[in-house]
Amino acid sequence: MSEPLLELDHVTKRFGRVVIAEDLSLAVGTGDTVGIVGPNGAGKTSLFGLISGDLAPGGGEIRFGGRTVTGLDAAARCRLGVGRTYQVPRPFGDMTVFENLLVAAQQGGGLRRRASYTAAVAALERTGLSSQANVPAERLGLLQRKRLELARALATQPTLLLLDEVAGGLTDPEVAQLVEIVREVNAEGTAVIWIEHVVRALTPVVSRLICLTGGKFVGDGAPATVLADPAVREVFLGTEVTAALAGGSLEPPSAAGGDGAAGGERSQP
Ligand SMILES: Nc1ncnc2c1ncn2[C@@H]1O[C@H](COP(=O)(O)OP(=O)(O)O)[C@@H](O)[C@H]1O
Ligand SMILES: [Mg+2]
């Protein structure tokens, strides 16, 4: 890795006595794909807060694109190329899907009128939401809401995309479509860090997997190696891990969209 796109250097964060980041160091390169797993309350969402600027660290330094961003707020970091989704989608409910994307492109991405329009249209098309462009966001179902959340992050034209549990609650074919979208975005050079409980959504996308527990990394490497690590299994036991180890992976959307599409199993939210 030459110059890392993102670097966390001994970052620490506590909420009272709860340690959510304990001396965390991490380097992610341009175009990298990293998955993050870990039990509830491990500090995964908080880690995104520290990277995106929603949370200020108690100690340590964060660098993005070669500059120190520790003191920059979320708006400034978004303009530099850090795009994130939220675990609980946060659209402006009374605005249409397209208006939500325009706001993201202008306010988040700092794009001017014409460029913001182009970015909003691209995000709409990329996430398959074109037919919903004029629908108020509050009328969208779960899948479309998740897509809008992703589209809002994409409309800011990120070079680093942070995905926080975007697959939770979706059916297998829906997850497969999401995986395809993320792969396409990554193929164009955007680095992806994806927090996901649904491990089988991660494994087709990420080349590196990290397990976070109690504000510490307990595994970092090739997904199969990390999932087989006894220390990881101890903190992250579950059917998802077992399924991933057994080689259970998603069919591509074309195959998944066939017979099984209607009755797909819902993944755990
Ligand atoms: N703003 C906050 N104030 C106080 N405690 C918080 C705050 N945000 C998160 N926490 C606590 O920090 C811990 C980690 O939360 P979180 O990062 O959301 O974990 P995860 O995403 O891994 O489930 C939890 O114990 C949570 O209750
Ligand atoms: Mg979380």
Ligand 1 interacting residues, C-beta cut-off 6 A? 15, 18, 20, 38, 40-46
Return the minimum-mean-pLDDT range out of 15-29, 76-90, 227-241: 227-241
Please report the pLDDT score of residue 236 as a whole number. Answer: 74
How remote is the CA of residue 14 from the centroid of ligand 1, in Å?
9
Share of residues in the chain with pLDDT > 70 (%): 87
How remote is the CA of residue 194 from the centroid of ligand 2, in Å?
11
Residue 231, number of CB atoms within 10 A of its CB? 12
Q: Domains (ranges, CATH) in the chain?
A: 6-81+160-261 (3.40.50.300), 89-157 (no CATH)
Check residues 251 and 40 and name the one with the higher pLDDT: 40
Mean pLDDT of 45-69: 97
Mean pLDDT of 80-90: 93
Which one of 12, 14, 20, 36 would you pick to mutate in the ligand 1 pocket, going by the greatest count of ligand atoms within 8 A of its CB?
20
How remote is the CA of residue 38 from the centroid of ligand 2, in Å?
9
Please report the pLDDT score of residue 234 as a whole number. Answer: 87
Q: Which atom of ligand 1 is nearest to the CA of 212?
A: 22
For the cut 60, the answer to whether the pLDDT of residue 1 exceeds it is: no
Mean pLDDT of 226-246: 73
Q: Whose CA is nearest to atom 10 of ligand 1?
A: 15
Mean pLDDT of 212-238: 90
For the cut 50, the answer to whether the pLDDT of residue 269 exceeds it is: no
Residue 173, number of CB atoms within 10 A of its CB? 21
Please report the pLDDT score of residue 252 as a whole number. Answer: 35
Instruction: Give the pLDDT band (50/70/90) at residue 263.
Output: very low
Share of residues in the chain with pLDDT > 90 (%): 80
For the cut 90, the answer to whether the pLDDT of residue 36 exceeds it is: yes
Burial, 110: exposed, middle or buried (Cβ in 10 Å; 0-12, 13-18, 19+)?
Answer: middle
Instruction: Give the pLDDT band (50/70/90) at residue 249.
Output: very low
What pTM does this model have?
0.89
Q: Which atom of ligand 1 is nearest to the CA of 46?
A: 17
pLDDT tens track for 97-120 = 999 999 999 999 999 999 999 999
In this structure, which ligand is nearest to the CA of 47? 1
